[in-house]
Structure 1
Amino acid sequence: MTSFEVDSLEGYALAELRREWGYEPDERIVVIGNIRAAKLPDGKTIYFLEDLKHASSFSSLRYPHVAINGSHSAFIGPVLPQGFDLQAKYLWALAELTLSPKKEREKHKNPYQCNVVRGTLRPLSEMPKDWHFTVRGPATVALLETAVHDAIMARANKSTASQIASIKAKLNVEQSNLEAASSALARALSHQATADARLADTENQYRDALRKLDLQRDKYEKEKALMEARLSSLAELAERKGERLHALGLLDADDLKRLRDPHPPAANGLSLAEAFDGDFSRLAPHVQAVLWSRNLMYTQDRIRNFLALTRTSDLVILAGDSGSGKTSMVKAVAQALGAICEIIAVKPNWTGPEDLIGYFNPVERKYQSTPFLDALLRAEADPNRLHFILLDEMNLARVEYYFADFLSYLETRDRLPEIPLFTQDEERHVLMENGIFLSIEQEARLKAKLDEGATIEDLLTDETANNFLTLFGGFKNTESILAHHARLRRGLSGVLSTRSTLSFPANVRIMGAVNMDDTTHSLSPKVLDRAHVLRFDNPFLTDWEAIENEIEPLELTDALQILPEEFGARTDYPAFDRTLPAAEFLARLARVLDPLGVEFGYRAIRQGLGYLQGAQEAGLTEREALNNIILMKVLPKLTLDLGRVMPDGRPRREQLLALRDLLAEEFADDLDYLDDSCVQRLEGLAATADANNGLASYWVR
């Protein structure tokens, strides 16, 4: 534990908690507990770790100064890691705890409230070597879980066995010397007195703790104010000491300029309000005409659909064969809108989130960035312009492996998601180290009578300055001044290039281009459930004359730069209101899909309703938008073996035809004029299945 942590309010609370729970001052707080799920009013589920026990002594753990009937659990979060069977009789787990965020502790009026450290929760499916028990017969998971539970309870009870035996012995002595009635009364009075004494002692301890906490808080606030007065942020460091950092070679001129002048570039084109009076539906004809002038031909409905998808802030996947126009469309539309399009090539060996957003290298004290993260940072520095980030060949690697964390970030709708890159302690350490070095070198310059422009070479070649730095900087028997200087420079460069936490830029839209063939991975249900899949067919099947008949004369020749806020803000999906015709139809659709094993739940329906709003603003009718929802959210999930039967014994083919009948009845002849109809697609899928040994797949032709 650092001195800064001990002096801080959180550090005091952690130290107090370790002392109360029997952990060493520097020991991680590793506990055993039972997982409990809790339903929130909005239907979501969150998880807690309860019945907390010391991982070594198995003593029960309760928060200091919290009532017995109060909450003594640790918050896990809305998602459990893989490996937990929620149907198991016992759901024990090992985890490391840390303090909850300040707001949560204040909310629960518990300064010691803890959360489970992310990534440390794991099921207690392996018994430590010092736990002794026997499982006879087939060692099934159920037997192992029961044995784990029994071993935990036996180990916990063992620690109190001697105390129970001692108490029973004393009670037997008292009962043998006193009559039954007077003995019971005496014990009751004794227990009452003990309880009163303990209550009084607890109240005194609580008051003492509050006094200590107040003193610690005052000390912390004073130290915090002093620290903030000296050095509060990188910006202040650059403002106050930028020239010295540059002169000493710790900071480049470009970095200094960027810190002092972080103003984003101004827009250099017409906004939607200036070009089309804010009417989003007038944007598609203009974009179509611009693309046609560049020999790129897309139907107006396709462009309206693409623009509507950009308003959702969801993951958009463009699927089709190589050369079908996926990447070309994204780049061309971005250029027509005055947006930036960044193409990120996915590699087949990507297996985790670090391949997407990088990782912190503790040796170099620098974050190893990636092209994807660099694109996010460029978008953050350019907030007045839209940025499309396209993951090209997205499914060359398994999307659910390297993109899982980002899928979770994109699900955050009520605010801009925060992307943690590395611990904030590294930033604080860099600021403190540079601040201390600047203070020492200032004294060295004064002693040597050097001016403000003195470089590190001037300090080292001046005997007085060099001796002062060596003596008061602690370099006499440790690393050299030059080595320390190099380490400071690396650390400062690292935190300047990448902050510890990145707020997902509001002007970014994430897209992916995929090829569905034998060289790529299929998209998992988890990915399909959270994305909109826009399919591209062979461009030579396009009716080019029909597209040319749609082209309207350009209303303006000036360049556009549509502002990000004109594409809509990141908001929560619409609530499911079954009284709305569109919501009621999608719910009926979900009931037909369920026997086929195709999930189309609340998230997908609410996501579809969010798209429906953006599609109508882009100029599509409600019927056209519903057709697109089925094409993008339902049909891509269909990969069925029609030779199998459903749980009720009926053949799957019968249910697939029922789905076709539902769509045909719902849309009747409404979609005959469209190039891409969900009814025609489903009929083609069923016909292909007959010639493909009963395999019905949206992706098989």
Structure 2
Amino acid sequence: MNYLLPISEEIYQKHIAPLTPRFILTHPAVHLQVNDAIIPFEESGQQHILPLIYRVTAVNRTAKTISLQLIDFCQHTLPLKEAFTRNILISQEKMGDSLRIAPPEFEEVKNAMGGKRRTEQELLTSIRNYITARGYYYDEETLYNYHICLKTRPLVILAGLSGTGKSKLPQLYAEALGHKPRYLRLPVRPNWNDDRYLLGYFNTITGEYIPEPAVEFIHEAETDPYNLYFFCLDEMNLAHVEYYFSQFLSTMEEEQPEDRRIQLYSKYLWERAQKGADPFPYQLVIPENLFFTGTINVDETTKPISDKVIDRANTLEFFSVDLEKMPIPTTVAPPISIAASTWRSYRINTPDLSYRSQIIEINKLLNRADLGLGYRVLHEIELYLANSIELLEPDTAFDLQVKQRILPRIRGAGYKIEQLLNDLRAFLRQQNFPRSIQRLEEMQHRLQHDGYTNFWR
């Protein structure tokens, strides 16, 4: 049989959101049988039907538990009310707290949620077609690279020439996935010397918390876990990133989503504020459905990017522009609608260790110049490699990671840096990594010409 089963917020956060492949659910299980198909829905709030399909693998009526196994995904959520309004659920039968539905209606529910999940290649092809129809061009490697970076870590930095489409990429990516209303671009200003420009402040005179648009956007993402949210910090290095973004950088280090908390003001002040109107929360969780993209330029008006930021992000470059490939805008097909849980289903959490020996050798070369890689960088390079499988060739993926995660750490002058660049170039030539070699040669030329070099152009 097929059922729609209500799920509590606690169960959603513990098992549904992290896409736990198998879990045990406390349930009376009076009518459920092994091999029954289950689609969960929220038991409160808007009662969204969630785009995940489970199979009952075991029933323990004595302990009042059932074992569920995740077997498939649909594209997006569906409000339960809408399913009734559209007459999808006509002959459902209420069985305790669940709804038993006939096989044809079960298929209709899945179709109303966009049908079976697209493959990752199909998803990216749809995104690229949407971007082309809008009249913009990004080569396949750039688009795939950006997508893989988002799967690896929720902060990506886009560097390059002005007007090359840096800030447009996250916007078009969000639009193509049906999340245009959940995209925020915020221009950074040179006077941002602390995080109140993002988080707001507590007004001690009125006893109210005054939020900024950024913190309201983050709060919206936290309270809407079923959709993806995209936050673009435009020209993020017009001010020192560490001054206004330090809490975010530290919070993103937490492994468990519930630990990624930012304190806005004290609980004591929040309790006092409750005596009046409903106050703004005193802390926020940075949710898994929120992605940050920062665009940067490197010129006399901007601040340098420190290792603290470089360590926590992939850096994609936009310097080579092929004007001949700029498409003419055409009729835009409707965007894909994809739920946050479905997008996360493409993510791989087990690192790919196949290039560990090369990373160790590169680290030894860095050590000679008093530089080196930390555990974080190693882990995230290997996560990137795992998430690039079937999207990029393995050598291409590793070449990009050397360029995006390792080379930005190199800067300075003198014999040690010169020798490091020579040794690295020789090693990478043996391995045949052309992207990294090209950048190293540019850095060597700058060292010879200016007496100083770094990664940034």
Under a length normalisation based on structure 2, what TM-score does the superposition of the two structures give? 0.70
Are 2:382 and 1:609 equivalent residues in the alignment?
Answer: yes
Distance 1:570 1:278, change over 3 A: closer
- Which residue in 1 is equivalent to 2:198? 356
- Pick from 347, 362, 366: which aligns with 1:593? 366
Aligned residues: percent identity? 27
**Counterpart-to-counterpart distance in 2, 1:384 and 1:348:** 35
Matching of residue 492 in structure 1 with residue 277 in structure 2: yes
Structure 2 counterpart of 1:690, from 428, 448, 455 = 448
- Going from structure 1 to structure 2, the CA distance change for 1:266 and 1:518 (only over 3 Å counts) comes to farther
Q: Counterpart amino acid of 1:425?
A: Y
Matched, 1:263 2:41: no
Decide whether the 8 Å contact of 2:153 with 2:313 is kept in 1. no
In the alignment, is residue 663 of structure 1 matched against residue 444 of structure 2?
no
Q: State the AA in 2 paired with 1:492.
A: A
1:320 corresponds to which of 154, 160, 164:
160
Structure that is richer in helix per residue: 1
Q: Provide the C-alpha distance between the structure 1 equivalents of 2:116 and 2:399, rounded to a whole number of angstroms.
A: 28
Matched AA of 1:680: Q
Instruction: Indicate which of 368, 371, 379 corresponds to 2:221.
Output: 379
Q: 2:348, 2:124 → 1: CA distance?
A: 25
CA contact (8 A) 1:338 1:559 kept: yes
- Residues 308 and 615, structure 1, Cα contact 8 Å, conserved in 2: yes
Give the structure 2 partner of residue 534 of structure 1: 316
Q: SS where residue 183 of structure 2 aligns?
A: strand
Counterpart of 2:292 in structure 1 is: 510
Match of 1:566 in 2: 342
Report the residue type matching 1:602 in the other structure: Y
CA drift of 1:285 comes to 1.8
Task: Give the equivalent residue in structure 2 for 1:70.
Answer: none
Distance 1:574 1:398 in 2: 34
Paired position in structure 2 for 1:628: 400
Report the AA paired with residue 326 of structure 1.
K
Cα distance in 1, alignment partners of residues 205 and 309 from structure 2: 35
Once the two structures are superposed, what CA deviation does each residue of 1:491-525 show, in whole Å capped at 9, x if it has no partner? 324x1xx1122222221001111111110001011
Cross-structure match for 2:436: 678
CA contact (8 A) 1:315 1:511 kept: yes
The 3-state SS of whatever aligns with 1:616 is coil
Unmatched runs of 5 consecutive residues or more in structure 1 = 1-260, 434-490, 549-553, 647-651, 672-676
Which residue of structure 1 lines up, in the alignment, with residue 415 of structure 2?
Answer: 645
- Tell me the SS of whatever aligns to 1:597: coil
Kept in 2, the 8 Å contact 1:350–1:397? The answer is yes
Shifted more, 268-277 versus 332-341: the winner is: 268-277
Contact 1:267 1:561 in 2 (8 A): no
Confirm or deny: 8 A CA contact 1:267 1:385 kept in the other structure: no
Deviation at 1:606, TM superposition (A): 0.6
Whether 1:524 aligns to 2:306 is yes
In the alignment, the residues of structure 2 paired with residue 315 and residue 364 of structure 1 have an alpha-carbon distance, to the nearest angstrom, of 35
171, 175, 186: which one pairs with 1:331?
Answer: 171
| 1:589–1:296 distance in 2 versus 1, CA, 3 Å | same
Q: Structure 1 residues 511 and 629 mapped into 2: Cα distance closer, same or farther (>3 Å)?
A: same
For residues 413-424 of structure 1, the aligned pairs below 5 Å read 413-416=255-258, 417-424=260-267
Larger CA Rg, structure 1 vs 2:
1
Partner Cα distance (2:445, 2:206) in 1: 59
Tell me the secondary structure at the aligned position of residue 343 of structure 1: strand
What is the match of residue 307 of structure 1?
A: 147
Secondary structure at the counterpart of residue 167 of structure 2? helix
SS at match of 2:314: strand
Aligned equivalents of 1:360 and 1:349: distance in 2?
Answer: 20
Q: Which AA in structure 2 matches 1:628?
A: L
Measured in 1, the distance between the counterparts of 2:184 and 2:49 equals 20
- Alignment correspondent of 2:55: none
Q: Residues 593 and 661 (structure 1 numbering): CA distance in 2 closer, same or farther, change over 3 Å? A: same
Asked if 2 retains the 8 angstrom alpha-carbon contact of 1:314 and 1:532, the reply is no
Deviation at 1:591, TM superposition (A): 1.2
- C-alpha separation in 1, matches of 2:314 and 2:129: 25
Where is the strand percentage greater, Structure 1 or Structure 2?
A: 2
Deviations 1:554-607 (A, max 9, x none): 9x95431221123327999757x8xx3312211211111222333322111111
CA RMSD of aligned residues (A): 3.2
Structure 1 distance, partners of 2:262, 2:296, is 25
8 Å CA contact 2:265–2:283 kept in 1: the answer is: yes
Distance 1:386 1:264 in 2: 18
1:158-307 paired onto structure 2 within 5 Å: 263=46, 270-271=75-76, 274=114, 277-307=117-147
Q: Shift in Å at residue 264 of structure 1?
A: 8.3
Deviation at 1:430, TM superposition (A): 4.9
Cα shift at 1:298:
0.7
CA distance in 2, matches of 1:565, 1:697: 39
Tell me, in whole angstroms, the C-alpha distance in 2 between the residues paired with 1:534 and 1:525.
Answer: 16
2:152–2:387 contact (8 Å) kept in structure 1 = yes
Distance 2:425 2:171 in 1: 36
Q: Which amino acid aligns with 2:419?
A: E
C-alpha distance in 1 between matches for 2:116 and 2:126: 10
Q: Quote the Cα distance in structure 2 between the aligned partners of 1:504 and 1:332.
A: 23
Q: Kindly indicate whether the alpha-carbon contact (under 8 Å) linking 1:396 and 1:520 is maintained by their aligned counterparts in 2.
A: yes
Name the aligned partner's letter for residue 374 of structure 2.
Answer: G
Match of 1:198 in 2: none
SS at match of 1:411: coil
What amino acid sits opposite 1:696 in the alignment? T
Q: 1:563 to 1:414 in 2, by over 3 A?
A: same
Relative contact order, higher structure (CA 8 A, sep 6+): 2
Query: Deviations for 1:89-140, whole angstroms, at most 9, x for unmatched residues?
Result: xxxxxxxxxxxxxxxxxxxxxxxxxxxxxxxxxxxxxxxxxxxxxxxxxxxx
Structure 1's 593 and 567: CA in aligned 2 closer, same or farther, altered over 3 A? farther
For residue 278 of structure 1, report the CA deviation from its aligned partner.
Answer: 3.9
Contact 2:257 / 2:286 at 8 angstroms: preserved in 1? no
Structure 1 residues 266 and 561, CA gap change in structure 2 (3 angstroms): farther
- Say if 1:415 and 1:570, in contact at 8 Å, map to a contact too: no
The alignment partner of 2:337 has SS state of coil
SS at match of 1:291: helix
2: CA distance, partners of 1:423 / 1:378? 21
Gaps of 5+ in 2: 1-43, 52-73, 78-112
- Secondary structure at the aligned position of 2:373 is classed as coil
The aligned runs of 1:55-66 (5 Å cut-off) are none
Cα separation, partners in 2 of 1:567 and 1:311, compared to 1, 3 Å:
farther
Q: Could you report, residue by residue, the CA deviation over 1:679-698 in whole angstroms, capped at 9, with x for unpaired residues? A: 22222222333233x32222
Q: Give the deviation of 1:423 after TM superposition.
A: 2.3
2:151·2:347 contact (CA, 8 Å) conserved in 1?
no
**Do 1:395 and 1:521's aligned partners in 2 also have CA atoms closer than 8 Å?**
yes
- C-alpha contact 1:334 1:388 (8 A) present in aligned 2: yes
Alpha-carbon spacing, 1:559–1:597, altered in 2? closer, same or farther (3 Å): same
Q: Shift of the alpha carbon at 1:292?
A: 0.9
Once residues 681 and 275 of structure 1 are traced to their aligned partners in structure 2, the CA distance between those partners, rounded to angstroms, is 44
Equivalent AA in structure 2 for residue 263 of structure 1:
Q
Aligned mates of 1:686, 1:516 — CA distance in 2: 18
Distance 2:248 2:196 in 1: 11
Secondary structure of 1:691's counterpart equals: helix
SS at match of 1:530: coil
